[in-house]
Amino acid sequence: MSVRLLELKNIECRYGSTIAVKDLSFRVYPGDLICLLGPSGCGKSTVLRAIAGLEPIYNGQIILDQKIVSSASTTLAPEKRGLGMVFQDYALFPHMNIEKNVCFGVRHLSAKEQKRLCDEMLGIVGLGDYRQRYPHELSGGQQQRVALARALIVKPKLILMDEPFSNLDIDLRERLSLEVREILKDQGLTGIMVTHDQSEAFAVADKIAVLYDHTLQQWDTAYNLYHGPINRFVADFIGQGEFLKGRLLKPDTVETEIGILSGDRAYDWPVDTAVDVLIRPDDIVPQADSALKAEVKYKSFKGSEIFYQLQLTTGGKLLAAFPSHFDFYLGEIIGIDLDIHHLIAFKR
């Protein structure tokens, strides 16, 4: 395994007596794209700012390239860390044209070298024709690409992005997050991005750090966060679903009102333990002749699929996502079947 580029070891950050981040640890390897994901106020920006050297840490260590850059007693200055940063408000210099903005970090180099690098960076972000324009002559998405080019020009060992697309409309946000992923992957760069938007995290990240209540809840791939959340917070926060009451029959089997469910996970709780079982919308399929019936309480057309809120005749609720040609009406009693691959249960 390659040598880690960045390691956070049990870091704690405070603002006065307010704890913003506690006991947080993770490792980032070269080429990784990481997202810090969580609700507002959970500490994401503070973690990013601590990595950048913009916030001191109260406890623990930040190790960059095998060197301690932050600890309770030291904070290496941001400009000495060799990092690139992109923030949500673009922060371009309004009175400088795009070329000058992009070259800001290399303005000590010769004019010829600056031009060469600027051409290369604007080429990477697809804005080769815009070097003479001013920021106000560019769209939000273009400005954010300039901000990225400006961060990339110093060839940072790590690029930090704080909600870089949150000022953009949703279509552009999705497109740009994929573009940025491609650019960073092509360049073999390592990046950490803060977002509160899970679809953005899913689009960009190799690994996602889910933060809540100032601590790391789970560090995993998007797939595993969705199919294997380790606690109720992650289960609720990532994706959609409903909990059904159940009891454990065997380590990998529970009994619920929709029948006996088995999965690939084993829980070492005693038999008969009361549990809540997470059922995702994609765990349910329409099946006209099924004995399991539910009433359509609400529907929301999404284009390729329709989201249904279902009420079981036995009392529980389910969410389902069916291909949109299954167009049931409100109040209709429909047959459903289960297609559960992952049994996710939490002790009640």
User: Which residue is associated with the tokens 């960045």?
Assistant: 6
Q: What is the DSSP string of 28-56?
A: E-TT-EEEEE-STTSSHHHHHHHHHTSS-
* Rounded Cα gap, residues 97 and 118, in angstroms: 12
Question: Do the beta carbons of residue 201 and residue 226 sit within 8 Å?
Answer: no
Give how far Cα 110 sits from Cα of 100, 103, 254, Å: 13, 11, 69
Find the helix packing angle between 111-124 and 140-152, rounded to 10°.
130
C-alpha to C-alpha distance for 19 and 182, rounded to whole angstroms: 36
Minimum distance, C-beta of residue 46 to ligand ADP, in the bound complex (Å): 3
Query: What does the block give as tokens for 184?
Result: 């960073």
Task: Compute the least distance from the CB of residue 302 to ligand ADP, in Å.
Answer: 28
φ/ψ of 4, rounded to 5, equals -70, 145
C-alpha–C-alpha distance, residues 238 and 225, integer Å: 7
Within its chain, how far is the Cα of 188 from the centroid?
Answer: 20
Report CA 143 to chain centroid distance, whole Å: 23
- Between 15 and 298, name the residue whose CB sits nearer to ligand ADP: 15
Q: Which residues pair with 274 in a beta bridge?
A: 247
What are the CA-CA distances from residue 111 to residues 5, 34, 128, 133 (Å)? 32, 35, 17, 18
Where do contacts with ligand ADP occur on this chain (CB under 6 A)? 15, 18, 20, 38, 40-46
Nearer to ligand ADP, 41 or 56 (CB): 41
Please identify, using beta-carbon distances, which residue of 14 and 342 lies nearer to ligand ADP.
Answer: 14
Contact between 165 and 157 under an 8 Å Cβ cutoff? The reply is no
Around Cβ 157, how many Cβ atoms within 10 Å? 16
